[in-house]
Chains A and B, each alone.
Chain A
Amino acid sequence: MKTPVIQIKDLAFRYPKAGGICIDIQELNADAGDRLFIYGPSGSGKSTLLGLLGGVLSPERGTISLLGHELTKMTPPARDRLRADHIGFVFQQFNLIPYLSVTDNVLLSCRFSSRRRNRAIASGKSLLDEAARLLDHLDIAPELRHRPVTQLSVGQQQRVAAARALIGGPEIVIADEPTSALDAERQTAFLDLLSRECIAANATLLFVSHDRRLASGFNREISLPSLNLVQAEQEAA
């Protein structure tokens, strides 16, 4: 049996300065190529869960394993390494560093991970070629690539961010409401592009949103409130 890409067991987390437990999840697994849609209302802990998966937040109890590496047993720098090597992130908005060009924003992922740099070079002919290829796939016209990123539309910015998340073939792509600033038409277009690229790279996609209508096109759909015991308790109370 192959190791699951994501494996969460008996996970509990609370913010250091806040009072109560914020996340309490018994179990969550994902295999290579899975595309998970996780939905829940605002404040249900979606971003918090992604922070835990990224190794930026440390759980109070339980284990998180990514690709067989148990985050809770790793030092913080090792977790940063693991994130750099194996996870691509897309956020809600303002995903790009304003003083870098489009291409440099895409290549940012390769700057902190030699693994992703090598894989990107192996996939294209050079880093620049690979960045250009991904930007092509994500419908960013060549003439946009030398513009300051602040002159791109929000939709274009999100696609550049997606290219950054995908370059170097990370096993996991995590998207935190990347479409909430887009209109309905562009939302689906963006989702389709992202799904297509993840399928092509056989990456596990974790997509969180408060909008359940976006769930089509994913092969698993999870409601965070029903998964998170904290919410269940609160609702019971």
Chain B
Amino acid sequence: MKYLLSLAVRSAWNRKLTLGLTLISMALSVALLVGVERVRQDAQDSFEQSVSGTDLVVGARTSPVQLMLYAVFHIGDATNNIHWQTYKDIASNPAVAWTIPVSMGDSHHGFPVVGTTTDYFAHFHYGESAPLAFASGIPFAGLFDTVIGAEVADHLGYHLGDKITLSHGTGDIGLTEHADKPFLVTGILARTGTPIDRTVHVSLEAIEAIHLDWQSGAKIPGFSIPAEFASKFDLTPKEVTAILVGLKSRAGVFKMQRFVNEYHAEPLLAVLPGVALDQLWQVVGIAERALLAVSGMVVVVGLCGLIAVILASLNERRRELAILRSVGARPLDIFLLLSAEGLFVTLSGTLIGMVLLTAVTAIFAPLIQAHYGLIIAPKFISFDELGLLGIVMGISLLASLAPGYGAYKLSLSDGLTPRI
């Protein structure tokens, strides 16, 4: 048995060029498969942790997915806003520990502008409950101060002290500028890999201020309130778009959700962000699953190549098998000898693929994190990936039996005198 193994290895070494090539294709396809799975997993994790530590997201009544889209991802517009009084009712509920009101509708070069309070920087968490950190600067304090996300700063080349103007509405072209009220960049957030990176944050009062001389979404003609007088007005917000709510105790989450959903003064919706993000991923995750399927097929193709190479060698090896039979090898030995080869190649191919992948991720992880904010955890293999590799190994085990069986049949029919 041990000798058979050494025979298999030496025979494989004898054909190292062809087997080496199939080994490489095996290694590459495994690295691709696991790499795609890893990126997919990490993308899903970072997606589902776009917001963490928030117990409820509250908005005007709509679908949970749409609420998440605008409240957390700042995509699309809310159909309705929440009255300021409603916000105060929720914030003063005894079960509530903290709230982050957000007000949307303006943008800056396509990046969404969010009006909020400084509680945002204190309570907003993402990932495995990481707080927001400042790459430089401090939270907004003055009326026309702004804190921008990392992507906004990188993409537009902004630094602390720069002045920016906001546009009314969302989108990139054909928008009216709030040109008379420029904002001062006082803080730049560290990269998070979440929609925050693409967000411009200002105070709720600032949102009121820039719309003082506006009515029904248009500037009142011939009427303008200069920035320096804006603070003389009552800037208490009339509405907010959504509220992120943190509770004193997680146990009260369903009670609070019911309180919001049955709120008497206006129709509201409260969703648990984890559940809603999961639903949302079901929609946006399809592309990733397709990618995984494609790389799965690459593995199958690699495996087919391997089996084809081994089967093709079978004919050249008929004499060798007859010699082994003559010195006493059983047909079972012949079967094992040929199956071992396929197994050996897939096993070492898988191992090399994993080493390759680990090396590649180690090299490129900082780059990927810098450019896409996607944090790829440095690891050799995870439990889920082990399952995936288990499937690959299982299939290749079955596939490796094919040449073994072919050799078995050949050695039975050839006996001691191979016919070529």
Cβ-defined contact, A91 with B327, below 8 A: no
Assess whether B355 is interfacial by the CB under 8 Å rule.
no
Could you count the A-B residue pairs with CB atoms below 8 Å apart for me: how many are there? Answer: 67
Instruction: Give the interface segment out of B7-15, B144-152, B169-177.
Output: B7-15
Chain B nearest CB from A74 CB (Å) reads 13
Q: Which of B320, B323, B332 has the most CB of A within 10 A?
A: B323
A contact residues around B323 at 8 Å (CB): 91, 95-97, 108
Checking A50, A80, A85, A100 against B329 with a beta-carbon cut-off of 8 angstroms, the contacting residue is: A80
Assess whether A83 is interfacial by the CB under 8 Å rule.
yes
Assess whether A98 is interfacial by the CB under 8 Å rule.
yes
Cβ-defined contact, A99 with B325, below 8 A: no
Q: Is the interface of B mostly helix, strand, loop or mixed?
A: helix
Instruction: Give the interface segment out of A51-59, A139-147, A180-188.
Output: A51-59
Cβ-defined contact, A56 with B328, below 8 A: no
- Which chain A residues in 68-97 approach chain B with CB under 8 Å? 76-77, 80-81, 83-85, 89, 91, 94-97
Cβ-defined contact, A47 with B328, below 8 A: no
A contact residues around B415 at 8 Å (CB): 51, 54, 56-57
Assess whether A113 is interfacial by the CB under 8 Å rule.
yes
Cβ-defined contact, A47 with B319, below 8 A: no
Assess whether A61 is interfacial by the CB under 8 Å rule.
no
Cβ-defined contact, B3 with A111, below 8 A: yes
Cβ-defined contact, A97 with B320, below 8 A: yes
- Chain A 99-119: CB-based contact to B (< 8 A → 1; otherwise 0): 110000000110111000000
Cβ-defined contact, A84 with B327, below 8 A: yes
Assess whether B250 is interfacial by the CB under 8 Å rule.
no
Cβ-defined contact, A94 with B416, below 8 A: no
Checking B13, B14, B332, B416 against A54 with a beta-carbon cut-off of 8 angstroms, the contacting residue is: B416
Chain A nearest CB from B20 CB (Å) reads 15
Assess whether A176 is interfacial by the CB under 8 Å rule.
yes
CA distance A50 to B325 in the complex (A): 13
B contact residues around A109 at 8 Å (CB): 327-328
Assess whether B231 is interfacial by the CB under 8 Å rule.
no
B contact residues around A50 at 8 Å (CB): 416
B contact residues around A98 at 8 Å (CB): 14, 320
Assess whether B129 is interfacial by the CB under 8 Å rule.
no
Cβ-defined contact, B328 with A99, below 8 A: no
Closest to B329 in A: A112
Assess whether B326 is interfacial by the CB under 8 Å rule.
yes
Cβ-defined contact, B416 with A51, below 8 A: yes
Chain A nearest CB from B418 CB (Å) reads 9
CA distance A96 to B14 in the complex (A): 14
CA distance A84 to B279 in the complex (A): 66
CA distance A81 to B320 in the complex (A): 19
Chain B nearest CB from A83 CB (Å) reads 5
Cβ-defined contact, B13 with A99, below 8 A: yes
B contact residues around A108 at 8 Å (CB): 323-324, 327
Closest to A81 in B: B328
CA distance A152 to B325 in the complex (A): 23
Cβ-defined contact, A56 with B327, below 8 A: no
Cβ-defined contact, A76 with B330, below 8 A: yes
B contact residues around A85 at 8 Å (CB): 328
- Chain B 29-47: CB-based contact to A (< 8 A → 1; otherwise 0): 0000000000000000000
Checking B10, B328, B330, B417 against A100 with a beta-carbon cut-off of 8 angstroms, the contacting residue is: B10
Assess whether A35 is interfacial by the CB under 8 Å rule.
no
B contact residues around A112 at 8 Å (CB): 3, 324, 327-329, 333
* Those 4 A-B pairs whose CB atoms lie nearest each other, nearest first: A84-B328, A99-B14, A112-B328, A56-B415
Return 10 A-B CB contacts under 8 Å, by A number: A47-B416, A56-B415, A85-B328, A89-B416, A91-B326, A97-B320, A99-B11, A109-B328, A111-B327, A112-B327
Q: Given A51-B417, A95-B323, A99-B10, 11 other A-B contacts at CB below 8 A? A: A54-B326, A80-B325, A83-B326, A84-B328, A89-B326, A89-B416, A91-B417, A97-B323, A108-B327, A109-B328, A113-B328
